[in-house]
């Protein structure tokens, strides 16, 4: 469904490519993890898929095919139609990623406002449904609240609701749990698994936290300095890492979880 | 506010001894000076005089002008109206021009150098100079209005309006430059924030991003800035009224200072200060309404 | 990373040029600025008289040069008073904080809400109107709150920064911290503020002299000359043109300089 073919991205003014030839596929219903340290290029890859690459400031080449359409070279208008509807994005910091002066409800509905002609009542109904699906408590009350009135975990659920409300083909998540407490992290992971099961939405999960990736993803791809150094079934990669970099990453995980398998 | 009026009053009382001399001339006899002083109430202690004045202010009695021998309130009423009009027209002009300019050009990088240079130029041109330029080009040259002859609004409304417009334009230009700059930087700052990224990821186009999200977030500092603009307009009107010979509060202030007519000066200064403070308070109120985070008891 | 950016260079060049001209003007002008009948009355700009002559036949260019000098001196003196006092108070209260800081800030808020020209007008009418030193004193005092606030904000925000804390822990004394650590880091904000202050001073002085409440003859400044020029708008528009142009040029070049300063340090 999503096919990244030999993606190269270099920011103008820099010598080194941020993404130096990455190819990755995501099938329907798959959850793929993209891991690596800061600077590995995983976020740039994700942003390229989301259509958020600042084209005027980069040299780029390759293809990003979403069911046949090349996102990388699509014109603004076509890209815009896909953003939100076919691809949903969840960012790392929910407090700053949501408009502080807009209530939660309308923000969850926003994609519907842009891409559909549904009327207000219909949108509200779907928003409430989506918010319930992400297990937000007291949905009606939360609908009317402002971002600063909710906790990080609740905000992130709202972001997820906003991203999946139009039933996109792909959900892009860029470090969605990094800013949250560990217990909340676990809840969000479970939620994502549930969403994937029930709706079949594919996910590209970016993280530097291997524990989280291990619990959630079916397949895992490891990036180092712009290149894909390892890829495969999650459990395989974790048990038998082939690339020295992957081995180092895994070795760096605190001992307790590594031994236990399922923590 | 209180502080300002007290300071002004105290300051003037210090030299108001001159007022008696000014009124009577230096050859006045000591007895006549003393009599006038008593009549003007200048021989009573400072605080008492201030108290009296304050009371008078709120009841509309602002004292009597020394030069004109008229109650100050009467004297100033028509001038207040005129200056008010000038201020409002200038304010509208500034907002109407700067907001579209500032918002639409924010984030666009082309011609940035030229834009900034133009901006600096705009800020460098003092209102009295622009006023003279305008007078010369449009008044003397094109004869769209007669510089120095402000038509009576009741007789020639259109003429007065045009005249006022030119004066307002002269006043507004530096402030427009500043406001555009401020708007651009504020909007640009907002555009760099995370929620804009989210908005784009949801499929908003540039216009929608601006309208739906950025504008209301960029507003608070702008509103405050506009309130300060009001203060600037007040200052500018003093000068512009001089250039265009408009019989408003500003001109009155200048002539009163020169003529040492302290009751008038005092009253005008306080009125202008009041106007500025009102603008500031209005701005604060608007900001409070707009941003739920500023209201008490908003956090979860 | 210092890049010579366009604004800075252009601003610096223009400012230096003007400064040089003004300095020259202190020692020599093409004609004696007060000499009547240095040329024919009301003559338009020409090679002999670059800005023409006025109603007394005085060479306008010489007068403008002299006036610019007066304006510049007043602005600089104002800046000296306002900036030095303001920055000092701001730095001290910003660094030490506490109730004094709170009180001063409130006071400052009250004062700055007020259009500075009004305050200055009030003050001038108390002192002797028409004298250079009254104008300088009045404007200088009026500018103090502005500088105090800018400095105070800069210093207060640095107060809790890590390297300052570690300097304190190492036992560095108050003055040392202020001078060695904080000052260099607040310069990016202070220097542009100085340029803005200069421009405001020039404009304020010009406005007040224009209104007749600032500097009066024999100390003629550009503002006063403009008010003279207004009366001759019909007959000798070049008087107003030349004078005004010089004001604009002064403010413009210093403005560019300030803009360049701001960008060079990346603080925008």
Q: Indicate whether A130 and A239 sit together in one domain.
A: no
Q: Is the pLDDT reported for residue A172 higher than 60? A: yes
Least confident range of A74-83, B167-176, B257-266, C198-207: B257-266
| C222 Cβ under 8 Å from any chain B Cβ | no
Q: Are residues A237 and A151 in the same domain?
A: no
Lowest mean pLDDT among A83-92, B47-56, B76-85, C79-88: B47-56
Q: Do A91 and B299 touch (CB under 8 A)?
A: no
> A250: which residues sit within 8 A by CB, 6+ positions away?
A210, A238, A241, A258
Identify whether residues A35 and A121 lie together within a single domain.
Answer: no
pLDDT at residue A82 above 80? Answer: yes
Residues A130 and A251 occupy one common structural domain: no
b/e map A125-155, b = 16+ CB within 10 Å: ebbbebbebbbbeebeebbebbbbbbeebbb
Tell whether the model's pLDDT for residue A147 goes beyond 50: yes
> What was the pLDDT predicted at A161?
92
What does the alpha-carbon distance between residue B173 and residue B124 come to, in Å, rounded to a whole number? 10
| Residues B262, B253: Cα–Cα separation, whole Å | 10
- Average pLDDT of the segment spanning C136-146: 83
Task: Tell me which of A27-36, A159-168, C135-144 is least confident.
Answer: C135-144
A197 shares contact with chain B (CB less than 8 Å) = no
Which residues are paired to A89 by β-bridges?
A: A172
- What is the value of ipTM here, to two decimals? 0.82
Query: Of A141-145, A177-181, C217-221, where does mean pLDDT reach its minimum?
Result: C217-221
pLDDT band at C265 (very low <50, low <70, confident <90, very high): low
Domain termination site, one of A141, A167, A193: A167
| pLDDT at position A63 over 60 | yes
Q: What confidence score (pLDDT) does residue B297 get?
A: 43
- Confidence (pLDDT) at C122: 67
Q: Quick one: average pLDDT of B241-262?
A: 78
**Domain boundary residue among A167, A188, A221?**
A167
**Mean of pLDDT values over A138-162:** 90
pLDDT exceeds cutoff 70 at B57: no
Kindly identify which residue of chain B lies nearest to residue A52, measuring between CA atoms: B201
Give the closest residue to A182 by CA, choosing from A137, A213, A148, A212: A212
**Arithmetic mean of pLDDT, B286-295:** 75
Q: According to the model, what pLDDT value does residue C248 have?
A: 87
| Residue B154 pLDDT grade (very low, low, confident, very high; cuts 50, 70, 90) | low
Percent of chain B with pLDDT over 70: 67
Percent over 90 (pLDDT), chain A: 19
Give the confidence band of C107 by pLDDT, cuts at 50, 70, 90.
confident
pLDDT (average), residues A70-74: 86
User: What per-residue confidence (pLDDT) applies to A160?
Assistant: 92
Q: Tell me, what's the pLDDT at B99?
A: 85
C200 → chain B, closest CA residue: B124
Please list every residue in chain B whose beta carbon sits closer than 8 Å to the beta carbon of residue C244: 126, 129, 132-133
pLDDT in tens, C16-38: 888 888 888 777 777 777 777 76
Q: Which residues pair with A224 in a beta bridge?
A: A227
Q: Are residues A177 and A261 in the same domain?
A: yes
With CB atoms and an 8 Å threshold, state whether C212 touches B254.
Answer: yes
Average pLDDT, rounded, for chain C? 77
Q: What angle do CA A103, B287, B189 make, to 5 degrees?
A: 75
Kindly report the backbone phi and psi dihedral angles of residue A61, in degrees, each rounded to the nearest multiple of 5, phi listed first: -155, 170
Check residues B18 and C191 and name the one with the higher pLDDT.
C191
Identify the closest residue of chain B to C120 by CA–CA distance: B235
Mean pLDDT of all residues in C70-92 = 86
Q: Identify the CA nearest to B287 among candidates B190, B192, B203, B220.
A: B220
Is the pLDDT score of B35 beyond 70? no
Q: Indicate if A3 and A82 belong to the same structural domain.
A: yes
Residues A47 and A127 in one domain: no
User: What digits encode the pLDDT tens for the residues C44-68?
Assistant: 777 777 777 777 777 888 888 888 8
Q: How many structural domains does chain A have? A: 2
Last residue within a domain, chosen from A138, A167, A196: A167
> Would the CB atoms of B121 and C240 count as touching at under 8 Å?
no
Q: Which domains does chain C have, with CATH numbers?
A: 6-23+59-267 (1.10.3720.10)
Is the predicted pLDDT of residue B14 greater than 50, yes or no? no
Higher pLDDT, C127 or C148: C148
**In 3-state terms, what secondary structure has residue A23?**
strand
Token pair, residue A66, equals 């979403």
More confident residue, A124 or A209: A124
Q: Which of B118-127, C110-119, C226-235 has the lowest mean pLDDT?
A: C110-119
Domain check: are A151 and A185 in the same one? no
* Range A241-254 average pLDDT: 79
Q: A77 and A178 share a domain?
A: yes
Q: In this structure, what are the phi and psi dihedrals at residue A228, rounded to the nearest 5 degrees?
A: -85, 115
Of C25 and B21, more confident: C25
Q: Record the tokens describing residue A122, joined without a space.
A: 């219909």
A81 touches chain B (CB under 8 A): yes
Q: B7-11, B150-154, B282-286, C198-202 — which is least confidently predicted? A: B7-11
Rounded to 5 degrees, what are φ and ψ at B236? -65, -35
Q: Which of A51-55, B66-70, C184-188 has the lowest mean pLDDT?
A: B66-70
Is the CB of B123 less than 8 angstroms away from the CB of C199? yes
Tallying the residues shown for chain A, one arrives at 263
C199/B185 CB distance under 8 A = no
Could you write out the DSSP letters of every residue in A19-31?
Answer: EEEEEEEE-TT-E
Per-residue pLDDT averaged across C171-184, rounded?
A: 71
Q: Which chains sit next to B, with 3 or more Cβ pairs under 8 A?
A: A, C
Which of B1-15, B132-146, B264-278 shows the lowest per-residue confidence on average (mean pLDDT)?
B1-15
Can you tell me the distance from the alpha carbon of B5 to that of B10, in angstroms, rounded to the nearest whole number? 8
Q: State which residue of chain A sits closest to B208, comparing Cα positions.
A: A114
C to A contact (≥3 Cβ pairs closer than 8 Å):
no
Instruction: Please say if the pLDDT value at position B295 is more than 80.
Output: no
pTM of the entire predicted model: 0.76
Higher pLDDT, A117 or C1: A117
Cβ pair C33, C26 in contact under 8 A: no
Same domain, residue pair A62 and A124: no
3-state secondary structure of A32: strand
| CB–CB contact C252 B124 (8 Å) | yes
Note whether A146 contacts B216, CB cutoff 8 Å.
no
Task: Confirm if A24 and A231 have CB atoms less than 8 A apart.
Answer: yes
Q: Residue A118: which domain range?
A: 94-167
A146/B contact by beta carbon, under 8 A: yes
Confidence of residue A84 (pLDDT cuts 50, 70, 90): confident
**pLDDT at site A171:** 92
Report percent pLDDT > 90 for chain C: 0
Higher pLDDT, A205 or C93: A205
Q: Provide the CATH number for the domain around residue A222.
A: 3.40.50.300
The predicted pLDDT at position B205 comes to 82
Alpha-carbon gap, residue B223 to B229, rounded angstroms: 10
Partners of B212 on chain A (C-beta within 8 Å) are: 102
pLDDT score for B26: 41
CB within 8 Å of chain A, chain B residues 215-244 = 216-217
Tokens of B269: 């200064």
Q: Which of C121, C229, C234 sits opposite B257 (nearest CB)?
A: C121
Q: Judge if A185 and A61 occupy the same domain.
A: yes
pLDDT surpassing 60 at residue B46: no
A102 and A208 belong to one structural domain: no
Q: Please give the Cα distance from B40 to A20 (Å, whole number).
A: 88
Summarize the confidence of residues A42-69 as an average pLDDT. Answer: 87
């Amino acid at each position: 469904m999503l096919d990244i073919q030999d993606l190269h991205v270099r920011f103008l003014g820099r010598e080194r490519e941020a993404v130096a030839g990455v190819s990755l596929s995501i099938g329907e219903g798959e959850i793929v993890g993209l891991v690596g340290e800061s600077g590995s290029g995983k976020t740039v890859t994700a942003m390229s898929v989301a259509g958020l690459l600042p084209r005027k400031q980069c040299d780029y080449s390759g293809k990003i095919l979403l069911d046949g359409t090349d996102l990388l070279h699509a014109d603004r208008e076509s890209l815009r139609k896909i953003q939100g509807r076919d691809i949903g994005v969840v960012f790392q910091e929910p407090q700053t990623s949501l408009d502080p002066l807009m209530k939660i409800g309308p923000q969850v509905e926003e994609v519907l406002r842009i891409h559909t002609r549904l009327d207000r009542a219909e949108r509200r109904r779907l928003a409430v449904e989506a918010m319930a699906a992400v297990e937000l408590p007291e949905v009606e009350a939360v609908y009317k609240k402002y971002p600063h009135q909710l906790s990080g975990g609740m905000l992130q659920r709202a972001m997820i609701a906003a991203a999946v409300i139009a039933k996109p083909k792909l959900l892009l998540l860029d470090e969605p749990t990094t800013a949250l407490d560990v217990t909340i992290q676990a809840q969000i992971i479970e939620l994502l698994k549930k969403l994937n099961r029930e709706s079949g939405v594919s996910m590209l999960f970016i993280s530097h936290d291997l524990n989280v990736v291990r619990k959630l993803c079916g397949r895992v791809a490891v990036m180092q300095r712009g290149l894909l150094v390892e890829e495969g079934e999650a459990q395989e990669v974790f048990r038998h890492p082939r690339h020295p970099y992957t081995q180092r990453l895994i070795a760096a995980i605190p001992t307790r979880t590594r031994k236990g398998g399922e923590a | 506010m209180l502080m300002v009026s007290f300071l002004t009053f105290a300051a003037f009382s210090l030299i108001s001894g001159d007022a008696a001399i000014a009124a009577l001339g230096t050859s006045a006899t000591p007895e006549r000076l003393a009599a006038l002083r008593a009549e003007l109430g200048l021989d009573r202690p400072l605080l008492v005089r201030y108290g009296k004045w304050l009371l008078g202010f709120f009841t509309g009695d602002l004292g009597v002008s020394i030069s004109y021998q008229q109650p100050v309130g009467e004297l100033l009423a028509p001038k207040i109206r005129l200056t008010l009009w000038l201020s409002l027209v200038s304010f509208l002009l500034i907002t109407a021009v700067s907001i579209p300019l500032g918002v639409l050009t924010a984030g666009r990088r082309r011609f940035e150098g030229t834009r900034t240079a133009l901006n600096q130029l705009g800020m460098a041109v003092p209102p009295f100079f622009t006023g003279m330029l305008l007078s010369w080009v449009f008044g003397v040259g094109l004869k769209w209005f007669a510089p120095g002859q402000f038509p009576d609004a009741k007789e020639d409304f259109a003429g007065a309006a045009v005249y006022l417009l030119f004066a307002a334009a002269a006043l507004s230009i530096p402030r427009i430059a500043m406001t555009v700059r401020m708007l651009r930087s504020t909007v640009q700052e907002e555009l760099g924030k995370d929620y804009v990224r989210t908005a784009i990821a949801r499929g908003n186009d540039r216009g929608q991003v601006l309208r739906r999200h950025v504008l209301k977030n960029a507003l608070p500092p702008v509103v405050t800035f506009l309130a300060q603009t009001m203060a600037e307009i007040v200052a500018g009107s003093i000068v512009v009224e001089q250039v265009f010979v408009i019989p408003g509060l500003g001109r009155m202030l200048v002539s009163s200072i020169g003529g040492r007519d302290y009751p008038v000066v005092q009253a005008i200064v306080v009125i202008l200060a009041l106007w500025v403070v009102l603008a500031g308070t209005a701005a604060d109120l608007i900001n409070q309404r707009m941003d739920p985070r500023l209201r008490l008891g908003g956090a979860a | 990373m210092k890049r010579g950016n366009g604004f800075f260079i252009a601003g610096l060049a223009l400012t230096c040029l003007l400064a040089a001209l003004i300095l020259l003007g202190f020692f020599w002008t093409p004609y004696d600025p007060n000499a009547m009948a240095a040329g024919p009355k009301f003559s338009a700009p020409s090679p002999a008289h670059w800005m023409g002559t006025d109603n007394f036949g005085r060479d306008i260019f010489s007068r403008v040069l002299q006036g610019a000098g007066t304006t510049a001196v007043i602005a600089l003196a104002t800046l000296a008073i306002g900036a030095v006092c303001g920055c000092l108070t701001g730095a001290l209260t910003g660094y030490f904080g506490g109730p004094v800081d709170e009180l001063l800030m409130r006071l400052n808020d009250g004062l700055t809400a007020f259009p500075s020209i009004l305050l200055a007008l009030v003050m001038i009418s108390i002192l002797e109107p028409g004298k250079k030193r009254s104008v300088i004193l009045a404007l200088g005092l009026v500018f103090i709150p502005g500088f105090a606030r800018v400095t105070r904000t800069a210093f207060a925000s640095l107060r809790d920064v890590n390297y300052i804390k570690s300097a304190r822990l190492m036992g560095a004394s108050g003055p040392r911290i202020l001078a060695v650590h904080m000052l260099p880091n607040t310069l990016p904000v202070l220097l542009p503020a100085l340029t803005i202050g200069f421009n405001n001073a020039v404009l304020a002085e010009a406005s007040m002299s224009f209104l007749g409440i600032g500097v009066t003859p024999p100390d003629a400044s550009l503002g006063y000359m403009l008010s003279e020029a207004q009366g001759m708008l019909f007959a000798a528009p070049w008087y107003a043109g030349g004078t005004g142009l010089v004001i604009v040029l002064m403010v413009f070049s210093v403005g560019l300089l300030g803009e360049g300063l701001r960008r060079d340090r990346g603080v925008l």
